[in-house]
Structure 1
Amino acid sequence: MTDPLKRRRNPLLRPDFVRLWCGTTASGLATWAMPFILGLAVLHGSLSAVGLGLVLATRTAGFLVAVPLGGLLADRHSRRSVVLWSGLAAAAASPVLAAGLGTSTALMAVAAAVVGVGQGACRPAFQALTAEVVAPEDRQQANAALTFSVRGVTFLAPGLTALLATVTGPGTLLLVTAALWLAAALLPRGGGTAPAERPARSPFHVEFAEGLTEARRHAWFLAGLGALTVVIALGYSATNVLLPLTSREHYGTEAVLAGALTAYTGGALAGALLVARWKPRAQGWWALFGLGLYALAPLSLVFPVGAVWVFAAYAVVGLGVELFNVPWFTAAQREVAPDKLARVSSLDFLFAYGFAPVGLALIAPAAQAFGVQNVLLACAALCVLAPALAALAPGARDFRTRRATPEHLRG
């Protein structure tokens, strides 16, 4: 029989967390659906390929600009209000994006930038809001539920978009994303006040520097963020650029590409379920080990080893990524000062996603200059080396910051 205290503490049974989970899921679905919808617009002839690139680029630019700003605002004001206004901004811009289809690519680019701003501003606010509505002992389970929804969205969004496209057009689908953003804005509750009272507000650059100082206090965080940045910029980018190429050259079909990405998502879903309950000793080292498993992705592409082995490698990679993600988010919520959590989380998203376009831009020229196999082997080696070096940082064993003052003496 289930312990009633555990049932009461279970975040999945708490209305405030369920609303937050639904809001993050809605924002994720809107985020992942938008590129597919715009791709359909290219097929329909209402958007050119050049226009597609421009619109997606301005959305990315808006995201990268808004992530640090969103972190500052979420620490300065209510996290709930930042989620509200960022979601409303994306919801308001989505119909404008639809109106620009077939008429004005410039209008679409401006609207996409606003959508990107809303997307970027809500990410650190959602992260900090989770820490407000979930008790510390339940955050790992809550973060696993959130990351499970993210992976589920990546799995379902393309199929749902394609299915809806059989009965309606891209413009209507963009209006559906507006409704999703509206749900993301209105559903979450909690966090009605700023996380800490301050005697006076400092200029934005000073408060941003405070976030950097807080991040530097946690050596494991800086080391882990460096490893994550390397893995995403090199490993993730290499497989995204070179997986389609090797799929065609080694196997003569693009089905391996689709199968590998599906296996990755399936592994990530399994990893989220596993880490929801599993709390091993030296959890930080286990998390970094999981991150290092990303090396299997480029390694599986070096030689034509068979499609089944590629699928297996990508499934293990997906599982390993979630072994890292959930403890990483949970540790940040536990160790970082509550009034600086959103700013530190914004650094996480900024570095992890900000350098990915650099890797995407450099991988193809590097493959032409040094050969595809050499680039894949180098990326695999760095995906192992970066987490291994991060594991040597103080506090990396458990993702805990060593305190100068004993816990019971802290005021």
Structure 2
Amino acid sequence: MNGSSLRSLPSAAPTGPPSLLRDRNFVLLSWARTVSVLGNGFARVALSFAVLGLPGTTPGELSLVLACQALPQLLFVLVGGVIADRVPRVRLLAAAELTGAAAYAGLAAMTLTGHAPVAALAGLATVAGLATALFAPAMTAVVPEIVPAGRLTEANAVLRMGMNTAMLLGLALSGVVVSLVGAGWALAINALSFLAGAGLIAGIRIRTPRPPRTGGGSGWSDMRDGWREFASRQWLWVVVLQYTFVVAAVSAETGVLGPLMSGHGPGGARAWSTVVAAQAVGTIAGAALAARLRPRRPMLVAVLATFPAAAPMLLLGLHAPLWQTVAAAFLAGVSGDVFGVLWATTLQREVPAAALSRVSSYDWFGSLAFAPVGLYAAGPLAAAAGADVALLACADVVVLATAAALLAPGVRRLGAGRGGG
């Protein structure tokens, strides 16, 4: 939720303190994320073209390499949460960035030299996935170590604006770079971006130490303690369960059904690219909007903001004109980042700092759990019933899961002086 989640938020924008952009630690973190995400935009395109460009490589081998990158993010994110609650998080972020840099440097070198056994590519892709599993839970928890509690919403919004802009720019430039100089050099750019990110993060100095972690048990006991923190908050586990289904539906739409539906239409790939670009631009606008929001009931607003995610699926399934689908995709991007900022801020305010990375890891794990199912089921469902019917089914999943989340009192009542139960 990829997501990433209150006591009552301030009812007015904070006044008095200097801009976050004058805070050295926050500026370093913001630039580190922007630079790394820019590089990742290159990697999303370059890795596939790098593998397919090798002599004799099959689509099945490409699937293997991509699966080796994706699965560790799901399987080891809980371990990443335990580690991030045990060690200084800034150091872990820097180490994860260096690990990613090494993995992509190796992938770039093999691609450029042409000596790239599939087993070696899969191994390095696994290392890259492990780096993400270590990074994600620590990133959620390091923000409140740097930013005052009253400015978390603003900080999360600024971070997301930078990352969304960088991803959009990276995706736009990646095809140009791959076509001009090759996928190997694009992967090398990603490795350099991770290296730069590690250097920027290494410059962060935490002024207020994190509260000491209680207990000194094993990793398993730490994981169980994290689960108790997670399960004790109704609003938290309900929304993660909601997004288990929402992310599966969105993955099916963006990964399979949207391209399939657009490919059979008059606009083809260009039409689908327009839809994707509109949603990406919407995420930037959504983060800017979220920076100004101070809802009394943040989870209620965040869950309501999920409904527009169904609109592009519905319009694609109904064969609506392209401009309507593009407008709906933009709206979905706006509302998606409103959810993301409110969710991250709520997590950071409501969950004790000593357990925040472990709780965040359960958020990541739950939200991504069904994403592979959505991807794998989309193709057979489209073949059996048609891509339009499958898209309408995805829209139903988003609407039903979101409506069910609104039934939970903890979701509706969190904030406005109430507890987080």
Q: TM-score, normalised by structure 1?
A: 0.91
Residues 5-404 of structure 1 mapped to structure 2, 5 A cutoff: 6=15, 8-42=17-51, 44-45=53-54, 48=57, 49-101=59-111, 102-103=114-115, 104-165=117-178, 167-188=180-201, 189-191=204-206, 195-198=210-213, 200-397=215-412, 399-400=414-415, 403=419
Provide the C-alpha distance between the structure 2 equivalents of 1:107 and 1:249, rounded to a whole number of angstroms.
37
Shift of 1:141: 0.8
**More deviation, 62-71/138-147:** 62-71
Instruction: Report SS of the residue matched to 1:100.
Output: helix
Shift of 1:387: 1.6
Residue by residue over 1:358-377, the C-alpha shift from the partner in whole angstroms, topping out at 9 and shown as x without a partner, is 11001121223334333222
| 8 Å CA contact 2:90, 2:142 repeated in 1 | yes
Counterpart amino acid of 1:212? W
Secondary structure of 1:76's partner?
Answer: coil
Contact 2:308 2:335 in 1 (8 A): yes
For the structure 1 residues 245 and 277, does the alpha-carbon distance in structure 2 shift closer, same or farther, using more than 3 Å as the test?
A: same
Q: 1:129 offset after TM fit, Å?
A: 0.5
Q: Which residue of 2 aligns with 1:409?
A: none
Tell whether the 8 Å contact from 1:79 to 1:129 is kept in structure 2 after alignment.
yes
Provide the rounded CA distance (Å) in 1 between the counterparts of 2:183 and 2:207.
Answer: 37
Q: Higher RCO, 1 or 2 (CA under 8 Å, sep at least 6)?
A: 2
1:43, CA displacement in angstroms? 6.2
2:153–2:342: 8 Å Cα contact kept in structure 1?
yes
Identity of aligned residues (%): 32
Q: Distance in 2 between matches of 1:84 and 1:46?
A: 35
Residues 41-50 or 286-295, more deviating: 41-50
Contact 1:96 1:111 in 2 (8 A): yes
How much has 1:296 moved relative to structure 2? 0.4
Contact 1:251 1:304 in 2 (8 A): no
Give 2:163's aligned amino acid: V
TM superposition shift of 1:181: 1.1
Aligned CA distance change for structure 1 residues 238 and 158 (closer, same or farther; 3 Å): closer
Closer/same/farther in 2, CA of residues 172 and 197 from structure 1, 3 Å limit: same
Quick one: distance in 2 between partners of 1:38 and 1:236?
Answer: 19
* Cα deviation 1:320-364 (Å, max 9, x = unaligned): 111211000000000011100001111111222232111100112
**Structure-1 separation of matches of 2:208 and 2:56:** 43
1:7–1:13 Cα contact (<8 Å) kept: no
Distance, in Å, in 2 between the alignment partners of 1:47 and 1:337 is: 52
Mapped to 1, the partners of 2:292 and 2:39 lie a distance apart of 29
Structure 1: 5+ residue stretches without partners = 406-411
Residue 80 of structure 1 deviates from its aligned partner by 0.9
Instruction: Give the distance between the partners of 2:214 and 2:397, measured in 1 at CA.
Output: 46
**Could you list the per-position Cα deviations for residues 123-152 of structure 1 after superposition, in whole angstroms to 9, with x for gaps in the alignment?**
111111111101111010111111112221
Instruction: Give the conservation status (yes or no) of the 8 Å contact 2:311–2:332.
Output: yes
Counterpart of 1:100, as a letter, is M
CA contact (8 A) 1:27 1:119 kept: no
- Structure 2 unaligned spans of 5+: 1-13
How far apart in 1 are the matches of 2:132 and 2:262? 32
Return the offset for 1:185. Answer: 1.9
C-alpha displacement of 1:51: 3.3
C-alpha deviation, 1:176, in angstroms: 1.9
Equivalent AA in structure 2 for residue 83 of structure 1: L
